[in-house]
Structures are given as structure tokens and as C-alpha cells.
Structure 1
Amino acid sequence: MPDADPPGWELPLLLFAGFRTLIDQLHAELAVRGHPDVRPVHGFAMQAVGIHGASASEIGRRLGVSKQAAGKTVDRLTAMGYVERVDDPRDARSKLIRLTPRGLESLRLSAEIFERLRAGWVEQLGADRVRLVESSLRTVIPAVGYPVDVPGWFG
């Protein structure tokens, strides 16, 4: 007799545990590579800032949090040297938050580390299985890009 399917509640927990495992491994490696103070929320916030910069309001919308909550995260990232506030060339009354060289370095290192972590999964599971997981997830996930609003969604 074939094994019964696992209960439905297990799927989201397994997906989250896989996500959490990758993120925890990423941050352990970032700490070793000179970024011990970066937390997952900081990574999402730096993604929300993007390579062209963003206003605090835009960052809040992208993160799914209030402008004030985004401002607190930006304040922390500024104090840590990952972002800076500069005059917005589109609006002299506004400030633009943009990544500093340290912020860009942390994102570059993160991408490099994620490549290595994926390679570890390939080593454990095989390339075909990892590609199958990825393509299967792309099939069931709406094609609206990659959300960075996890802080607001969990909040």
C-alpha cells in the first residue's frame, strides 16, 4: 500500500523551514565576511531601496510597512553604513535613500553566498531535483516578481 500524502499544513512549514535555513546560513556567512550586524529585515529593506534609490514612502510601500517603520529601518541602516540619505534630484524637498558601497557589497556578497548555498542543495539533491523544485514553485507562484514585503506581511 502506498504511503499516504502528508497533511496539508506541512507544506507551508517545509517551505518556510527551507527559506529559514537558507537565510540563516546566508547571515552566518555574511557575519564571517564582515557584515555581522545585517539582519534579514535589513536585506529586504536594501532590496526595497534598490540600485536607483527610493524615498522612505516608497520603501515603506515596498516593504508593506508604514513610512515611520521604514524610516526606523533606514535610520538603522544609515547608522550601520549601508544606506545614505541624499537630496532627491526629482524633488528638492525630499530625501532619497540610496545604497552605499558597503550596502552594495553586502548585496553582492549575498548573491555570491546564495549561489554557493544553491550549489550545496544541488550537491545534496541533484541538479534535476533542485531545478524541479524551482520550476514547480514558479508554476504555482503568481508571476508578479519577488516580494520584499515580508516584514509587513509578517507584522
Structure 2
Amino acid sequence: MKKLILLLMICSSSFAQDKFEWSANGVTDFVTADVTGNASQVYGKAINWIKENYANPNEVIKMQIENEKIRFQGLKKNFNCIGSVCADGLYTIEISIKDGKYKFDPIELQLSNSAGSFSFPMSELKAYYDKKGELRKGSKESLDNVVNMFNELNESLKGYINGVKKNDW
């Protein structure tokens, strides 16, 4: 019985998640979403979502493989503020597309302010913990900002592809 429970726990943890989360081991690698439409329709709607949400869509789209994949880059001003010091977040996301679903995969996150810039370590968050294994002051808010931004972008894309209207004037 114990082996069966252990097997079920391992299997359930290997399924893709639908929301980004963080832990000491890092930020969720990617999320998947079930959407309406075949690969061509999902691809077209993802491109349109980028066009509607980014001022210069031709500049933010970094790579396209028609009906399969899109890589784009975005900037969130004042993304992470600790006290009066704020950093902008420059992110790169890859969307892989199949019939009726997509994978939303953050490739990179760069944080920058007047003091400089650094890559956010998506898969290794040890720098946010002290020697006792407790979160450093301000770390929870910073880590929450990362997952909240990715979750908001993903939910916006998913809603757009599924035809959820923002505000019908």
C-alpha cells in the first residue's frame, strides 16, 4: 500500500501545472493550457494577442515557427520594488502550440535598475534564503512578483485564445 501511495505521489507531481509557483527549488519551468482551436487557430490568436498587448509587436517577437512556436520579449516597468528602489523586468517567453493546447515557457528574466542588471535564477533560488533555510527579508514579495507576472500573462493569453472579452464597449 505504501508503494502505491508513493507511486501515485510521484506520478501526480510529474503532470504539468497550470499556474506558476515558486519554492526553494525554483520557479515552475512552464505551464500548459487547454484552449479551443487547432494549432493554426491557436497560433494565429497568440500572434494577435501579442499584437494587441505590445506597442511594437514586430520588435518583441523574436522567433516564429508557423503553427508551432513563438518566442517574444516583453518589459514590465517597475516590476520589482523594495522600498524606493525599483527594477524593471525584461522577460523572454516561448509559446509552443499544438491542437487544443499550448505550453507557456519563460526562458529568461532580467532585472535592471540604475545600479545594474542581473538574470533572475529561475531554477535556483538559494540566494533568496539565508543559511538557516529561511526566506530573506523582502524575498517573498520579489518571488511572488515573478510568479504573479507570469500567471497574469498566461491567463491573459489563455482568455484571449478562448475568446474571453476584456471589456466590450
Common topology (TM > 0.5)? no
Higher strand proportion (structure 1 or 2): 2
Question: Under a length normalisation based on structure 2, what TM-score does the superposition of the two structures give?
Answer: 0.30
Higher helix proportion (structure 1 or 2): 1
Question: Under a length normalisation based on structure 1, what TM-score does the superposition of the two structures give?
Answer: 0.32
